[in-house]
Amino acid sequence: MTENSGASGGTGLPPSIEAAWGLRPRTAKGPKPGLTLDRIVAAAVDVAASEGLSAVSMGRVAKELGVSTMSLYRYVSAKEELYVLMQEAAMGAPEPLPALEEGAGWREALSQWAWAQRRVFHRNLWSLRIPISGPPASPHSVAWWEQGLQALEGSGLAEGDKISVILFVAGFVRNEALLMSDLAAAVEAKGVSPQEVMAQWERTVKRLIDPVRHPALCRLLGTEVMSEPDEADYEFVFGLERALDGVEALIRKGTPS
């Protein structure tokens, strides 16, 4: 997302980051009694949760609060800034990782960190639609990165590799949550069960493919593995374990024999 008004105040920071860290000075004019930045953000989150991120606008939020649109600009300079604050509210501060407290090792700690992020995303699927503008700089996003890096302490990885691992794992979690969100929306729009959606797809594809042009796909559908019910969260568990296998291989590669 872009910062429409650039750096502000005397901090040299983008307005959204100033607001997230509570560094913005109070305006000279007194705000409308009862209107606060927290109320504005909470109203915006409610709109996004019920109607989707695309429904969020300064005017829509003002209507929810029963105030004029212009009164919001005493607290929030632009919708892009509001997005940052909404994401802060949705993510929240990370909960303590049991693996870190118990000294269970980097793999268990990083796994718990990934699962915690996934739970947050699934509670706030609308937040996945907020454009990514750069590395984390808001308080909660920095705290999540800090916790992820702490999970990798003792792994033997170089600091630069730790950042790459955090980006890799966080990207997998985000992509899986976004994919599951899109699939769930498609299933809901069709008004049928996920099993029926898959069965319809399988019947359609079987009519269209042939063994010459699509031999691998024909073999796959011939096993009917696509029709077998998966265990709960199977794809996430499978993908996360493979990602952690890759990190483990990287650690072994960098460890002198």
**More confidently predicted of 196 and 60:** 60
pLDDT > 90? residue 69? yes
Structure tokens at 134: 């750069």
**More confidently predicted of 135 and 34:** 135
- The tens digit of pLDDT for each residue in 71-105 reads 999 999 889 899 999 999 999 999 999 998 888 99
User: Residue 132: pLDDT band by 50, 70, 90 thresholds?
Assistant: confident
CA distance 230 to 50: 29
Cβ(142)–Cβ(17) below 8 Å: no
Residue with tokens 């600091």: 159
Domains 15-91 and 98-191+224-254 in one fold: no
Structure tokens at 244: 């952690």
CA distance 39 to 11: 25
DSSP 1-27: ---TT-SBTTTTB-HHHHHHTT-PPPP
User: Residue 150: pLDDT band by 50, 70, 90 thresholds?
Assistant: very high
Q: Which one, of 106, 144, 122, 134, lies nearest residue 17 by Cα?
A: 134
- The tens digit of pLDDT for each residue in 154-171 reads 899 999 999 999 999 999
Q: What letter would DSSP give residue 28? A: S
pLDDT > 90? residue 18? no
pLDDT > 60? residue 229? yes
Residue ranges of alpha helices (H) inside the chain are: 15-20, 37-51, 58-65, 69-72, 79-91, 98-102, 106-123, 139-151, 159-190, 194-208, 215-223, 234-254
Task: Assign residue 134 a region (left: φ > 0; alpha: ψ between -120 and 50; beta: otherwise).
Answer: left
- The tens digit of pLDDT for each residue in 210-224 reads 999 999 999 999 887
Q: What is the pLDDT of residue 28?
A: 45
What are the boundaries of each domain within the chain?
Answer: 15-91, 98-191+224-254
Distances (CA, A) of 242 to 19, 112, 172, 204, 236: 39, 15, 11, 31, 10
Q: What is the pLDDT of residue 44?
A: 97
Q: What is the pLDDT of residue 73?
A: 92
Cβ(25)–Cβ(9) below 8 Å: yes
User: Residue 201: pLDDT band by 50, 70, 90 thresholds?
Assistant: confident
Residues 6+ apart with CB under 8 A from 90: 45, 120, 123, 124, 126, 127
pLDDT > 80? residue 249? yes
CA distance 89 to 174: 17
The domain covering 15-91 belongs, at the CATH homologous superfamily level, to Homeodomain-like (1.10.10.60)
Average pLDDT, the chain: 88
Top-tier CATH class for 98-191+224-254: mainly alpha
Q: What is the pLDDT of residue 10?
A: 65
Q: CA 15, 17, 18 angle in degrees (round to 5)?
A: 65
Structure tokens at 154: 């003792």
